[in-house]
Amino acid sequence: MKTISTSRSHGGTQGVYSHASSSCDCEMTFAVFVPPQAAERVCPVLWYLSGLTCTHQNVMDKGEYRRLAAELGLIVVCPDTSPRGEGVPDEKDNWQFGSGAGFYLDATQEPFARNYRMYSYLTQELPALIGERFPADMARQSIFGHSMGGHGALTIALKNPQRYRSCSAFAPIVQPSTAGWSRPALEKYLGADESAWRPYDATALIADGHRFDAFLVDQGTADSFLQEGLRPWLLEEACRKAGIELTLRMQEGYDHSYNFISTFMDDHLAWHAERLGT
């Protein structure tokens, strides 16, 4: 692991690191905020997954999470959204696919299967590294994200309910298998057989029997992607049928930007901290 940068913030340390990933077969970059409490004890881990076109940097610069994370004693890990670098297949003119658009899945189709293995990276490789190199209590983990990252958080939590104590999302893509901006990516990564897409679709996972205790979702009513890409009412219906507790908050006048995310970031941090026992 290489240290790219570290700086003090609210008594803790914000760091950016990189390492050679075996899952993604390239150099991967990630950010970790370590709160001041970590000087005396291990701290619970909260994973934040970013959306399309983003890197670890977006939430670092605009997410406004460090003040309350420091107060609550939360380690916040912000991975990249996809593999990057020379030799990694990409569609440079397509913001909905390739670099910046890994969709938190394990690709099966060539030439993407070698690198686009974000699900394995986030559920196996990176947690092992975090547990080894940081003062992290890996028995207490939670996960949240935005847009494509909200999709990732929901699907990862549903498939690993024993690992995460809580899950929340800002404007998640709740049914990527039918959304216009995600269907093409799923087909390129996973093939034309739509049954192979179901493990990466929150509503399909719930229909197929996967369960999680409760979700918190914030969605802006002025989000330009609401009607065609996000459609939180589909998650609401799936949770209702499955008996999963969903707190869906439609936030009047808010859009899809980090102005929206930063406004409600404290609510999500507090939600997770309560369930992580801080």
- List residues with catalytic annotation: 147, 223, 256
Task: Round to whole Å and give the CA distance between 189 and 61.
Answer: 30
CA distances, 113 to each of 87, 99, 102, 108, 119 (Å): 13, 14, 11, 5, 12
Residue 13 Cα to chain centre, angstroms: 21
- Please report, for residues 51, 138, 259, 260, 264, the alpha-carbon distance to residue 221 in angstroms, rounded to integers and kept in the order given: 18, 36, 14, 11, 14
Calculate the CA dihedral of residues 132, 10, 145, 135 and round it to 10 degrees.
10
Query: What is the Cα–Cα distance from 195 to 206, expressed in whole angstroms?
Result: 14
Residue 35, burial from CB neighbour count under 10 angstroms (0-12, 13-18, 19+): buried
Cα torsion 49, 62, 233, 179: sign: negative
Query: At CA 208, angle to CA 202 and CA 213, rounded to 5?
Result: 60
